Structure 1
Amino acid sequence: MPQPKPRNFGRFGTEPWRKHRGIEEGSIIKPFWSLSAAGFAATAVAFGPGRMGFGLFVPEFRSAFSMSTSTVGFVSSLGFLGFFIGLLIAPSLLARQGPESPVLVGLAAATVGMGVVASAPNVPVVAVGVFLAASSAGLAWTPFNDAIHRKVKGDDRPAALSSVSTGTGVGIVLAGLAALVMVTGGLSWRICWAFFAGASACAFLSNWIALRGVEKDTEGKQEKEWRELAATAAIPIYAIGFAYGTNSAIYISFAADHLVEAGGVPGVPVGVTSALVYIFYGLFGLAGLLTGRIKDMIGLPMLLRVLMLAGALSLALVAIAPGTWAGLISSAGMQGIHVMMTSAVLAFWSERLFPSIPSVSFTAALLAAASGSVLGPAVAGLASSAFGADAMFVGTAALPAATAILLRNRHAQELPARTTTPTSA
């Protein structure tokens, strides 16, 4: 009896492709798709309105609560402290209970935090909501490295991880579009934050469904001692992470508000300026999907120099070219590229340096970035009050610029760190 002819699925090829992606007969959704979609939703919420939402709505918060620049800086730093603490908590929850626990705790914190902001009567309550919402970014991202590493086939892992990271850029764009609708439709910022809370609740449900079958790491790899991460070869990745975290946090906290105060851009209402900044930020940030290819073309040291200089120029343009479309698009676009590509570099660079503990080493790199994110806005807010916003932006730009100048090829090696010899390079 003749065998049935394999069915064709258009550009995806024939039926074996479905099995290659983990979709078999009699099944609905397999790990590649379920984890990719769940991770996409989690990072879209955590890094869109969760981590970026406060900076996006600073003009509205200023108006509603009479916030000073220094207060904006401290509230923003408090949010990044939540991110920092989330990063510290996530590995422990991951090791004890598997990836479902930190991801769901993070999304629950985002849902509650956004709801708190939506109903906040004063600045302290806003600060609590921002802290909870931003902590989701520290809790809900890195566990997917572990889940995908164990549940998705080796050849498919890069595509799955790329889908997870893409949620960041898309989440920022969607948050910006929500703010745009708010301004053009005459809606309250509280409605936007209530909408964010609802979206976070939906992400919580989808992740609960996708992750409940992913067990914890029974081999105890997450329990490896953190002192392995103290190798000399790892110092450059921490320095890059700190500069990146400081730069991005200050931009997120103050850039959109400064461009609003400068009068926006010609041809559109001033109120849509913040939304435009974050829309272009997120759209250009999708270039992060090309990070691996660009690194292969120009090498890691040159890529890092370009990214640090892009971050510096992005900040400088806020001071020297406000009120112009070219300045807004260039500044937001370069910052988006700087943030998304640098985070991708930290992910694969940390894995190359410490291949036996990829999740823990990535967390360590993000902790270095989070340290800069906590310190940066608070110091920048005080500096802006003392010396003016333009001086603050230019001064901050000096940090990534100096990092690019001081970086040497030997600092950006991708060979595994020899942790048994602490002084090795």
Structure 2
Amino acid sequence: MSRALHLGATGFGLIAVCYGFARFAFGLFLPQIEADLVLPDAVGGLIAGGSFLGYCLAIVVAAQLTERIGARAVAVCAALVAALGMLGIALAPSAAWLAAAVLLAGMSTGLASPPMAAAVAAVIEPRRQDTSNTLINAGTSGGVILSGPVALLLGAEWRLAYAVFACSALALALFASFCVPSATGSRVRADKAGPLFSVTLKRLVVASLLMGAASTALWSFGSQIVAQRLGWGSAGSGLLWVVIGAAGIAGAGAGSLIARLGVDWANRLCLGALAAAIALVGMGSMPALALLGGALFGAAYITLSGIYLVWGVAALPERPATGLTVAFLGIAIGQTLGAPIFGLLMSWLSMDHAVGLFALLALAAGVMRSNVGDTMRSSPVGCPEKGPY
């Protein structure tokens, strides 16, 4: 039992550092970074997209690495890559240096996910695996929650903030070396699996890509939006990030929501909430509406990630790790494309136009049907409450 607790705590911390700090915190500090390095909005968007591109590059190979060298080695590597990337951000003297560091930091998230899935399968008894996965999933929200107070305390000192983040990643590398087992994935089930790109998976790719693109309106530009529209400084942006992270804990209930509504209706409900959140933060003129939008965004995004995870696993029951990879890769590709496009729209048109179009992107993802809703609703076993790690 103690081994399971240590693994859960380490997994929570690793996901918090890689997702909350190395990937999503960049949008929180983007206004200060742009001001210090004199970056236009379009360039800032391109660099923000690099974090998601790094995720895409890493997750493609992470599952294979886990099978070959084991979960422990890949988990430690994820923490070290996060530390190196965030240290690079802290020291960045130019846009090119910053872009390379953001890309490297983003790679840590892709490396962190598969080894933790393999570790849970190896260490935790089957009936407790869903609970452990839910705990580890909450690390994303935990990291976002913690990055908010860092912004509140350090204000415009974004270099110092990233140095602190880098030190926390080094600590997690040490914990992972002791607490994560050297488990490897299994190739047996993959060998028996059928064709990869079924209609169900193709629809998942489209839905996750559109959702991922829409989410960059706040992940990459939320701090900048409230700074321009409401005049909030680092303190206000930090508060928004705390609200997003705290509300994201609700995403642990993705499996229960699917069991009640099915994949399709759960997806549409959360996409509607995501679109409303983008509109509230991006077009609202009252602080209370911005914070309400932040809460909606956190809950909707984390829940949607869980929904797409379940969708991917249901589409490839003999290759669950591959199903997970397809879902998260679709989200990350959408984010890679969405961040620079949002920045360009802000430069060419206006913030209102960019926000409105990206809210519509979220709604458009609801057109895709999974064809697994009825199966998931009628079979609770098929609805694992596994989070988006």
TM-score relative to the length of structure 1: 0.84
Deviations 1:80-127 (A, max 9, x none): 110111111201211211212322221111001111111111221111
Shift of 1:215: 2.7
* Residue 103 in structure 1 maps to residue 72 in structure 2: no
Q: Which amino acid aligns with 1:273?
A: G
Of stretches 220-229 and 36-45 in structure 1, the one that deviates more from structure 2 is 220-229
Shift of 1:203: 0.8
Aligned residues: 376
Q: 324, 330, 346: which one pairs with 2:292?
A: 330
Of stretches 125-134 and 155-164 in structure 1, the one that deviates more from structure 2 is 125-134
Q: 242, 252, 255: which one pairs with 1:279?
A: 242
Distance 1:208 1:410, change over 3 A: same
Are the equivalent residues in 1 in contact too, given 2:66–2:114 (CA < 8 A)? Answer: no
Distance (Å, rounded) in 1 between the aligned partners of 2:70 and 2:189: 10
Q: 258, 263, 271: which one pairs with 1:295?
A: 258
RMSD over aligned CA atoms reads 1.9
Deviations 1:167-190 (A, max 9, x none): 11011000111111112xxx7221
Match of 1:258 in 2: 225
* Residue 382 in structure 1 maps to residue 344 in structure 2: yes
Match of 2:121 in 1: 149
Q: Percent identity?
A: 24
Are the equivalent residues in 2 in contact too, given 1:112–1:197 (CA < 8 A)? Answer: yes
Deviations 1:204-231 (A, max 9, x none): 11111112x33323x4247649973211
Shift of 1:410: 4.0
Distance (Å, rounded) in 2 between the aligned partners of 1:340 and 1:118: 28
Match of 1:209 in 2: 178
Of stretches 121-130 and 40-49 in structure 1, the one that deviates more from structure 2 is 121-130
Q: 177, 180, 183: which one pairs with 2:149?
A: 177
Match of 1:394 in 2: 356
* Residue 58 in structure 1 maps to residue 26 in structure 2: no
Q: Which amino acid aligns with 1:376?
A: G
Match of 1:236 in 2: 203
* Residue 339 in structure 1 maps to residue 301 in structure 2: yes
Are the equivalent residues in 2 in contact too, given 1:305–1:407 (CA < 8 A)? Answer: no
If asked which structure has higher relative contact order (CA below 8 Å, sep 6+), I would say: 2
Shift of 1:296: 2.2
Distance 1:362 1:91, change over 3 A: same
Structure 2: segments with no counterpart, 5+ residues: 377-389
Query: Residues 155-174 of structure 1 correspond to what in structure 2 (within 5 A)?
Result: 155-174=127-146
Q: Which runs of 4+ in 1 moved over 6 A?
A: none
- What SS does structure 1 have at the residue aligned with 2:221? helix
Deviations 1:130-162 (A, max 9, x none): 111111111102321122112210111011101
Match of 1:89 in 2: 61
Are the equivalent residues in 1 in contact too, given 2:151–2:234 (CA < 8 A)? Answer: no
Are the equivalent residues in 1 in contact too, given 2:190–2:318 (CA < 8 A)? Answer: no
Are the equivalent residues in 2 in contact too, given 1:55–1:252 (CA < 8 A)? Answer: yes
Shift of 1:300: 2.3
* Residue 365 in structure 1 maps to residue 334 in structure 2: no
Are the equivalent residues in 2 in contact too, given 1:166–1:289 (CA < 8 A)? Answer: yes
Are the equivalent residues in 2 in contact too, given 1:109–1:136 (CA < 8 A)? Answer: yes
Q: Which amino acid aligns with 1:181?
A: L
Q: Which amino acid aligns with 2:360?
A: A
Of stretches 51-60 and 245-254 in structure 1, the one that deviates more from structure 2 is 245-254
Distance (Å, rounded) in 2 between the aligned partners of 1:47 and 1:275: 16
Q: Which amino acid aligns with 2:132?
A: A
Deviations 1:347-406 (A, max 9, x none): 2232222222111210111111111111111112112111111101101111111223x2
TM-score relative to the length of structure 2: 0.91
Are the equivalent residues in 2 in contact too, given 1:149–1:157 (CA < 8 A)? Answer: yes
Structure 1: segments with no counterpart, 5+ residues: 1-21, 23-28, 416-425
